[in-house]
Amino acid sequence: MSEKISPLAPKEIAVVPPIAGVRLGAIEAGIRYKGRKDLMAIVFDKPAQVAGVFTRSKCSSAPVDWCRKRLKGGKARCVVVNSGNANAFTGKKGRESVRLSAEAASLAFGCRKSEVFLASTGVIGEPLDVSGFSEHLGRLQTLTREDGWQDAARAIMTTDTYPKLSTRRFEAGGREYSVTGMAKGAGMIAPDMATMLSFVVTDLPVAADILQKLLSKSVQGSFNAITVDSDTSTSDTLLAFSAANGARPIADAKDQRIKALRHALDEVLHELAMMVVRDGEGATKHVEINVKGAASAKSAKRIALSVANSPLVKTAVAGEDANWGRIVMAVGKAGEPAERDRMSVQFGEITVARNGERDPGYDEAATTAVMEKDFIPITIDVGVGNGKATVWTCDLTREYVAINGDYRS
């Protein structure tokens, strides 16, 4: 946890309403940090339907491997998350830690091991000592509360400068429901997915397979459309739960209530993803890259990510420099179809380049005014077709280097 709060932090942390039968708690387990909570659990009184999306890293962490397998059962009774150590690249020891954690959780929360979901975030490559987990989780069991969301969201932070919570209410079938989620992530953030943990719960009763479809789709416009530093984590985990206190899950994907959930879920995931970008390590600017006129949506996304991940574009934004030459460079290096002489670039509403050269009416002062804001939308028309995509990123500052450089000298 950083001492310094991101200048892009929300004015206040969302207060999220409790969900019946969903209890959260966090304690100090002393895994790495001193004087803060670092072990968190979400406990479902009745089995919840569960869906998940994970990192595409070829070197996924032990907890990610565990969750992938457990997902097949479709049922969850708890999630246990620690910060400070990612339990990634820890070999046999890592698998053993995961097994022991699940055992401790199943005893503490009175459920099957197969209903325990796990996530870890922090340093990679150090063995995670879970010898104290039985005792810690036993104690944690007595501390979980329906209004424990904020406490839990704080416990999973690493280099985050603020806890990330989002909630939406929606009406479905004449009743009111909600979706509420938390996330952590600030560095090692790139699509597929961000280095990121996120846990989202709804009280609408939905079958696991439908929830999975909603989640896999929703992630495309949210966590899979953000990048801080192009570095994909070994540990990315997004889990969604339907905790309806035993109500029979909706099993028909065409049920009208699913549509209402989809909309709310999209909003919550998008808001959480934006919070992650706005807490990007060292970030001072929130940047939206819109690409249009591409050969396809896929091509547009590749171009947008090439721009969003370009160190030269990101450092220019940090310097409030409307350096569209670097944007063109980043479009060019993407290797996707682009018509140099039909390309246009806008910063905010201002067209700086048109038809492959500087716009005749280019106004330096007006453009600088756009760059001085903390949210900067950039729109690029690559002049080929109708494909479009949007991704979000932040700038690259000296602070990012300082945070990650661990300057020992």
- Which residues are annotated as catalytic? 195
Mask: binding to its own copies, 340-369, rule CB under 8 A, as x and -? xx-x---------x-xxxx---------x-
Q: Which of 3, 12, 349, 406 binds its own copies (CB under 8 A)?
A: 406
Member of 1, 21, 89, 297 binding its own copies (CB under 8 A): 89
For residues 82 and 31, give the distance between their C-alpha atoms in angstroms, rounded to a whole number: 8
d(CA 30, CA 34) in angstroms, rounded, equals 6
Binding characters for its own copies, 16-55, by CB under 8 A (x = yes): ---------------------------------------x
Instruction: For the beta carbon of residue 110, count every other beta carbon within 10 angstroms.
Output: 11
Based on the shown chain and the rule CB under 8 A, indicate whether residue 86 belongs to the binding site for its own copies. yes
Q: Which of residues 170-229 bind its own copies (CB under 8 A)?
A: 187-188, 190, 229
Of 226-255, binders to its own copies (CB under 8 A) are: 229-234
Q: How far apart are CA 404 and CA 228, in angstroms?
A: 13
Query: Are 387 and 297 a contacting pair, CB within 8 Å?
Result: yes
Angle, CA of 118, 122 and 128, to the nearest 5°: 65
d(CA 276, CA 153): 13
**Interface with its own copies includes 68 (CB under 8 A)?**
no
For residues 289-318, which are near its own copies according to CB under 8 A?
309-312, 315-316, 318
Which one, of 358, 334, 354, lies nearest residue 343 by Cα?
354
H helix or E strand, kind and range, residue 391 = strand 387-394
Classify strands 357-358 and 375-381 as parallel, antiparallel or unpaired.
unpaired
Give helix 311-318 / helix 297-308 axis angle, nearest 10°: 60
Q: How far is the CB of 131 from its own copies (least distance, A)?
A: 18
Kindly tell me which of 42 and 188 has the beta carbon lying closer to its own copies.
188
- Confirm or reject binding of residue 338 to its own copies (CB under 8 A): yes
Query: What does the alpha-carbon distance between residue 167 and residue 181 come to, in Å, rounded to a whole number?
Result: 6
Options 275, 328, 350, 391; binder of its own copies; rule CB under 8 A: 328
161 binds its own copies (CB under 8 A): no
Nearer to its own copies, 12 or 364 (CB): 364
Q: Which of 203, 266, 279, 320 binds its own copies (CB under 8 A)?
A: 320
Q: Where are the beta strands (DSSP E) in 188-242?
A: 197-202, 226-227, 237-242
- Is there binding between residue 126 and its own copies (CB under 8 A)? yes
Q: Is 72 an interacting residue with respect to its own copies (CB under 8 A)?
A: no
Smallest distance, its own copies to C-beta of residue 166, A: 27
CA angle 127, 130, 133 (to 5 degrees): 160
Of 38 and 236, the one with the shorter C-beta distance to its own copies is: 236
Number of residues that bind its own copies (CB under 8 A): 74
Residue of the chain from 30, 337, 377, 385 that contacts its own copies (CB under 8 A): 337
Q: CA 403 to CA 187: how far, in whole Å?
A: 10
